[in-house]
Structure formats: structure tokens, C-alpha cells
Amino acid sequence: MGAKMLKKARKIGFKLSGEKGMSLIEVIIIIVILGIALLPLSHLSIGNLNSASIYLTATKATCYAEEIMENIIADYKSNDPYIGGYSNVIKNWGGVVTNPAPPAGMSGRVSISPETIFNGVRYSVVTVTVTANGIQDVNLTTWLVR
């Protein structure tokens, strides 16, 4: 009769004195506790992935805005009579940018203020704006002096 009770006790998961190891119930309880503890950590990981995606988009938008601005400044400094110089930049660069082509999901726009005179210096303010889904617009501004 003692052997039958010992078998039943082992099936249920009880340990008898002197036995080593973990019972099935103890293992299940540990797994449940770990599952409950790890669930919030998985939500943190998903949040980090979403943040990384937003930062990647913002970085791409900033790089695109810088590329546009660098092209404008290169044209401004160029000696080419068709694209170079202050007047050609003012005439050719306003509006939606198609060259360089924008990354997927983004658009670029250049706005040029009317010429202003300050202390005898003529200049225009050039602003490059890049719009992308999920982030604030990226704006870069420079002054071009005549």
C-alpha cells in the first residue's frame, strides 16, 4: 500500500524527503512567473523598434534636405552661366524638388524669399523643407547674398 501512495504522490508532483530535483508543478509555476515578468519587456522592445523607425525616417529626411541645400549652394557658387550664380538659383530652385529624387514617402520643397536689403547688402533667404510621414517637417535655411 505504501508503494501505491508513493506513485500517486510522484504523479501529482510532490517530492518526498531525500528526493532531488524539481517537480513538474514547480517547473510550471516558474514558467508562468517568467511569462508574466517577460511580457512587459516584450512591449518595451516593440516600442524601441517603433522609435528606431521614426528616427531612421527623420535621419533620411535630414540627409535629403542637406543634399538639396548642398546642390543649391553649389549652383550659387558655380561659374556656369546657365545654372550658376545668385540670379539663376533664385530663378531655377523655387518649388517642389524632383532632382535629386526624394526617398520613398518623402517630398522636398524650396522656398526663396523676395530679395531684401540690409545695410546695403542684397540677399534672399532660401528654405528647404522635407516632408515625410510620421515625423515633423525638416527645415534648413540659408542666406544667399547677391
Q: How far apart are CA 19 and CA 33, in angstroms?
A: 24
- Name the helix (H) or strand (E) containing 74: helix 24-77
Stronger pLDDT, 22 or 75, i.e. the higher one: 75
pLDDT at 80: 86
Report whether pLDDT(94) > 70: yes
pLDDT at 17: 59
Instruction: Answer positive or negative: Cα dihedral of 7, 8, 13, 17.
Output: negative
Comparing C-alpha atoms, which of 53, 57, 62, 54 is closest to residue 108? 62
Q: Which tens digit of pLDDT belongs to each residue from 53-69? A: 888 899 999 999 999 99
pLDDT at 82: 82
How many residues are there in the chain? 146
Q: What is the domain partition of the chain in residue ranges?
A: 22-145
Comparing C-alpha atoms, which of 106, 99, 108, 107 is closest to residue 57? 106
HSE-up (13 A, CA, CB side) for residue 131: 6
- Name the helix (H) or strand (E) containing 138: strand 138-145
Q: How far apart are CA 44 and CA 7, in angstroms?
A: 45
Q: Which tens digit of pLDDT belongs to each residue from 66-75? A: 999 999 999 9
Q: Which three cell numbers stand for residue 33?
A: 512567473
pLDDT at 110: 95
pLDDT at 9: 57
Q: How far apart are CA 122 and CA 115, in angstroms?
A: 6
- Name the helix (H) or strand (E) containing 130: strand 121-132
